[in-house]
Structure 1
Amino acid sequence: MHRRGLMLGAAAAVTLGACSSTPSKFKSYSGPEVTYVVVNKSARRMYLMHHDKVLKDYDIDLGFAPIGHKAFEGDGRTPEGIYRIDRRNPNSQFHLSIGISYPNVNDVALAKALGKTPGGDIFIHGQQNPLKPGPRDWTWGCIAVKNEEIEDIYAMVRDGTPIALNP
């Protein structure tokens, strides 16, 4: 009986070990703090900064109407200005995502002056289907990177980190 229990325990350990061999999308990071994020929309580049040093940089895709500041919900533009990383979504339909604090008071006023709502849910996120790359600038106003890249960004960038979204 003891031998049978030992065999079943060993089989369970091997099975559980096989399950843990799948790489997690949640990485850890112990390097220098990301003190701010810079997005240069026209260059389609994002930089994770530690003060004046670039820690990482990425090619990005933007909203489907990439030129100009987001004015209202559904315009397809990515906001411009200074915001903060304010939330994260580990269950995003785009692999992982971190939220940007759009809209601010000025964004709300602009949309209201146009008779519209400002929208929201602006994120830095991964791809919906990494095996089927789509066109450039395909989001509704978000910043998209490859799934492997959002895993690093998700680990490196903390809530409260400022983000500058430049034209």
Structure 2
Amino acid sequence: MISSIRNSNDLATILNAQPLTQADAQETPRDWIEGIWVGGETYPLDADATTHTLAVLANGTAAAAWSPKGTYCNGGHGNAIASHAGHWCDADTDSIVFGDDVRGVTRDWRQVTVWDSNGYTEHQVHDTLDEAKAAFDRESAQMGRDWDDQEALMADDEDEEITVSYLI
């Protein structure tokens, strides 16, 4: 059960919930600009970016797009039948991971997150989607260069001969 909207997948899951009434079924995100209530908190939508087929949180951290019946969105909906039915899915996300989940960069709508397996996490929400995409590209490229440098250093260390001497 979702108790908060942490990302686009959460938003899409909430929008995919069965409507309680026929009137609810006819509503679109434009009807919910004031916000979507989840777990006691209201999540307002961006009035400028939200349309009948796109729901964008006002804080820029998540967005879900309507995927019409028969259109596959690659949203990981559990099975092919669900993925081809009309449904909401992540609007625009991207991610890259280096190593065996050692570090990575994710972009969820306008939020870019840089993380590593030691617990480091840095989030930045950008003013526009284009700025977020550019930041994701920069962070990914930098992390890729850093990763390549680290692997080169590790390879150099493996090539070095280690001499151990004991004093008796």
More helix by share: 2
Q: Output the TM-score relative to the length of structure 1.
A: 0.22
TM-score normalised over the length of structure 2? 0.22
Query: Which has the higher relative contact order, 1 or 2, with Cα contacts under 8 A spaced 6 or more apart?
Result: 1
